[in-house]
């Protein structure tokens, strides 16, 4: 993997962590209302998968979609303004945390309803197939959504019509607060695809390089007419299900064990030379960027000065995003009518 790609991975993972921690802080200050589902711990999945896609591909996400939008290229200031419910947000302040939408970047939205991503991705995949284009619909979903009827219906249709859809399971082991072995008879999600003859495999979702490698191969297979694929990324969220969830149902020894394989730190270990010992590797809280960099291990393609530059860059972007959101005006009813008319004029995919 070339140096520029490694740098891009690290930059996006650090941006993702810094953005989400800033969002958590703004939530506690009362600047963000409603539900707020954060992504720390799962960055390797979004970065590894989306960096393997083409700009012409489509991304369909869940309610935990801030980082998906950021990695896809949506400006942090527009994402933060949307979380604030402001007019300059990517959905004009009318979607909030769970309903980001960026048509320009073919980010087809986050969806609050569990299991809602599947039929949307199937519709996009069908449109692509009808046009005969070398594009793919990327469908993110969590382990808690695999018992929904839409999961089975959509996989069946995708396989039957050989639709260009990549199903990406972000398996963080908990359906809100219920461990997967307590709600699913089959805990290895990728095995469920066998019922529909869809090639599938599991990958270490804490390792951005492995995620990218498997996703790149699957996307090549889909583009050459291989039909749908499913990849299960085994990951872990370091926070609760949402800001309203303290996560007390999880034993601390488990949280600490997964923190030791935090994807941000793993990426830093691959890119930053000569850092301290593994025992010092702890990446949680507001200073996650600092900890990830200063306590990363190993040798790689970037030096500490470059990493410090990336840290400064993302910190500046996040600070500007917060300030932009604070200064953005509230939406007005006229904006709702404008959005409605725009949607009516642009009913087809582009």
Q: Domain range spanning residue 248? A: 3-272+282-337
**Taking residues 73-80, what's their average pLDDT?**
96
Query: By three-state DSSP, how is residue 110 classified?
Result: coil
In a domain, 350, yes or no: no
- In b/e form, how buried is each residue of 250-269, taking b as 16+ CB within 10 angstroms? beeeebeebbebbbbbbbbb
In a domain, 342, yes or no: no
In a domain, 138, yes or no: yes
Q: What's the token pair of residue 134?
A: 């070398």
Q: Which long-range contacts (CB under 8 A, 24 or more apart) does 343-348 make?
A: 346/103
In a domain, 345, yes or no: no
CA distances from 297 to 93, 248, 303 (A): 41, 30, 12
Please enumerate in sequence order all residues whose Cβ is within 8 A of that of 101, keeping only pairs 6 or more positions apart, or say none: 90, 91, 95, 107, 108, 109, 110
For 350, other C-beta atoms within 10 Å of its C-beta total 6
Across the chain, mean pLDDT equals 84
Give per-residue pLDDT as tens, 224-246.
999 999 999 998 887 877 777 77
In a domain, 343, yes or no: no
Strand pairing category for 137-142 and 58-60: parallel
Count of structural domains within the chain: 1
Give per-residue pLDDT as tens, 166-211.
999 999 888 787 778 888 888 899 999 999 999 999 998 888 889 9
In a domain, 349, yes or no: no
Q: Which CATH number do you get for residue 94?
A: 3.40.50.970
Full-model pTM: 0.86
CA dist., res. 249 & res. 246, Å (int): 8
In a domain, 263, yes or no: yes
């Amino acid at each position: 993997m070339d140096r520029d790609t490694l740098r891009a991975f690290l930059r996006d993972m650090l941006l993702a962590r810094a953005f989400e921690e800033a969002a958590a802080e703004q939530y506690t200050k009362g600047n963000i209302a409603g539900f707020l589902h954060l992504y720390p711990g799962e960055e390797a999945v979004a970065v590894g998968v989306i960096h393997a896609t083409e700009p012409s591909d489509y991304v369909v996400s869940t309610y935990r979609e801030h980082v998906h939008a950021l990695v896809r290229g949506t400006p942090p200031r527009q994402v933060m303004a949307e979380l604030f419910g402001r007019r300059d947000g990517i959905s004009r302040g009318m979607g909030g945390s769970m309903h980001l939408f960026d048509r320009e970047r073919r980010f087809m939205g986050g969806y609050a309803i569990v299991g809602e991503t599947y039929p949307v991705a199937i519709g996009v995949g069908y449109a692509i197939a009808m046009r005969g284009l070398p594009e793919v619909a990327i469908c993110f979903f969590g382990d808690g959504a695999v018992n929904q009827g839409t999961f089975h219906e959509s996989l069946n249709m995708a396989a039957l019509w050989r639709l260009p859809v990549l199903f990406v399971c972000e398996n963080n082991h908990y359906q809100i607060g219920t461990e997967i072995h307590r709600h699913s008879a089959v805990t290895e999600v990728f095995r469920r695809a066998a019922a529909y003859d869809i090639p599938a495999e599991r990958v270490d979702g804490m390792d951005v390089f492995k995620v990218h490698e498997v996703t790149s191969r699957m996307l090549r297979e889909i583009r050459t007419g291989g039909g749908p694929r499913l990849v299960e990324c085994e990951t872990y969220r370091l926070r609760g299900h949402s800001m309203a969830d303290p996560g007390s149902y999880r034993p601390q020894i488990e949280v600490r064990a997964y923190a030791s394989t935090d994807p941000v730190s793993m990426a830093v270990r691959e890119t930053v030379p000569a850092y301290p010992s593994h025992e010092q590797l702890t990446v949680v809280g507001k200073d996650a960027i600092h900890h990830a960099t200063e306590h990363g291990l190993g040798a790689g393609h970037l030096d500490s000065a470059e990493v410090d530059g990336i840290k400064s860059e993302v910190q500046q972007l996040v600070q500007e995003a917060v300030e932009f959101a604070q200064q953005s005006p509230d939406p007005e009813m006229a904006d709702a009518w404008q959005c409605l008319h725009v949607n009516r004029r642009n009913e087809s995919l582009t």
